[in-house]
Chains A and B, each alone.
Chain A
Amino acid sequence: MIWNREAECMQIGEREKLQLERLKATLKRAYENVSYYRKRFDEIKVKPADIKSFKDIVKLPFTTKTDLREGYPFGLFAVPRQEIVEVHTSSGTTGKPTVSGYTKKDIEIWGEVMARALTMVGTTKDDIIQNGYGYGLFTGGLGVHYGAQRIGATVIPISAGQTKRQLEIMYDFGSTVLTCTPSYALYLTEAAEEVGIDVKKLKLKAGCFGAEMWTDRMREEIEKRFHLIALNIYGLTEIIGPGVAQECEEKNGLHIFEDHFYPEVVSPDTLEPLPDGEKGELVITTLTREGTPMIRFRTRDVTALRREPCKCGRTLVRMDRITGRTDDRLKIRGVLIFPSQIEKALLEIKGVEPHYQIIVTRPQHLDELEVQVETSKKLFSDEVRHLEETRKKIEKHIENAIGLRVKVTLVEPKTLPRSEGKAKRVIDKRQL
């Protein structure tokens, strides 16, 4: 199902024209109304009028989270504060949070792109959406909420947490669409058993999961346990929140709503643009945001862009699922690895639960990588020999995947922390 056929299936040349027009208007507004952008443009002697085509975009400076903090809290607003009707902030785990300001029109656009995303997973006005994303300064909850309202579906604004109640409401209300982080979805499937809810009797048909990295194995696990189609959503507070891109049922990458968000992929080392299909850091320029326009915002998320036509009929460019963060890369004994590589290898082994934790230490000037894996019923044996073999098998498998020696530790089930929001998979104890 397609929410906005005109926008989502637009002829590519036509869309490019629209994008360029919108880019020029955005640059003009940003330059004239935001002193931060004016300063940055002036420093490198670029005027908005110098940007005549998308080839010229490389002349523009990048914007980073650190840059945004300089303008904290309202310095990046491109309209008078009175026109801002809502604000959201990033989690602020790495310092002062960044503030995103929305005008009335920005909220409308957010509702529009989220309506497209929810429709893409199969939501109609007849559905009951259980919205397990947090409501508040975090964009997840309200983003889904606005999209659901636009479609006219029934939304249960339950937010994250209260697991027992989540499951009871899911059962009693007959929720058909679940929106939350994938790790929380998995946790819910586990908890259902404990609460005594028969997942077969739930009416769930689709899940819109995002806000953290996950893998196809996790998808299979959620789909198998909850009997639904699990699709990936992408977004970030600085750009708008969820609804920047959404995966369609082809499960072949996420369609970026590029009439509102212009994507580029650049090398994280040289910052040079990379050709389609090559992995690098995703950079986004907003094309319609009024409150806080973003110019070449470095997302730190690693992906690749694909322009081959999609069977779903949308002409929107697709991005691969996020496979890492450029600031999350672990350098172990000089080798760069992404935690997702370990996860992928781990989940290829039968019987391994998708609950693990990576611990990095440096006991004697040498990095040690430990992966803690929960011992499932399937892995356990009454013989020490078998358990040791299982442990070594997992070690070998991860070693083959990442080219680094690891130590695997088997831990008791349900001892690794479960999260209601983003799962913390890596604990770096090195004092670097």
Chain B
Amino acid sequence: MEVKQISVFLENKKGRLWEALDVMAKAQINIRALSIADTSEFGILRLIVPNPEKAKKALAKSNFTVRENDVIAVGVPDKPGGLAGILKILTDADINVEYVYAFVEKSGKKAVVVLRTDSISKGKTALKKAGVPVLSAEEVYSL
């Protein structure tokens, strides 16, 4: 199963991010990873959660515009040059990265990097071929 990411449209208004996260809290959803893309007028909140369906429903019910899409999650050694190595693989394979964000696993041995490439399947294939551990949805959700 692909790793699902939930994205939420946020108007650039005071308290809006809190409101979205409050919906998550009230629905008892633990957030595994999060990133925000922002412009002067709006932002896009991106979330990785263990139960994307439940999160989507809760947010939609509170009138947020929500979207779900596939992303790639890889485990990267938590040391200098870890992420650069991954991006080099994708660059060499001529794959464009739309966005990327990372978080460090609890044990601290590994960093988890979330990647959105223009083609998810091509990105995955290239990384696997280079021997990078691509994480399954279950692995990511249970981190």
Contact = CB atoms under 8 A, between A and B. Distances in A.
Given A382-B7, A383-B98, A410-B9, A376 B46 contact: no
Given A388-B39, A410-B42, A412-B11, A382 B69 contact: yes
B41 interface: yes
B67 interface: yes
B42 A387 contact: yes
A194 to B, nearest CB: 9
Given A377-B65, A413-B65, A382 B5 contact: yes
B44 A412 contact: no
A388 B69 CA distance: 19
Interface residues of A, number: 18
Nearest to A411: B11
A409 B67 CA distance: 20
Given A382-B44, A382-B46, A382-B116, A412 B7 contact: no
A104 interface: no
Contacts of A376: 65
B1 interface: no
B84 interface: no
Contact of B67 (A382, A385, A410, A414): A382
A375 B41 contact: no
A377 B42 contact: no
A133 to B, nearest CB: 28
Interface in B63-122: 63-67, 69, 98-99, 116
A53 interface: no
Interface in B22-47: 37, 39, 41-42, 44, 46
B5 A413 contact: no
A409 B65 contact: no
A256 to B, nearest CB: 42
Give the one of A382, A383, A384, A411 with max B CB within 10 A.
A382
Interface string A376-410: 11001111110110000000000000000000011
Given A382-B5, A382-B46, A387-B44, A412 B67 contact: no
A415 interface: yes
B63 A383 contact: no
14 contacts: A377-B65, A377-B67, A380-B65, A380-B66, A382-B69, A383-B44, A384-B37, A387-B42, A410-B41, A411-B11, A412-B9, A412-B10, A413-B65, A415-B63
Q: Which 5 A-B pairs have the closest CB atoms?
A: A382-B7, A380-B65, A414-B63, A384-B37, A412-B11
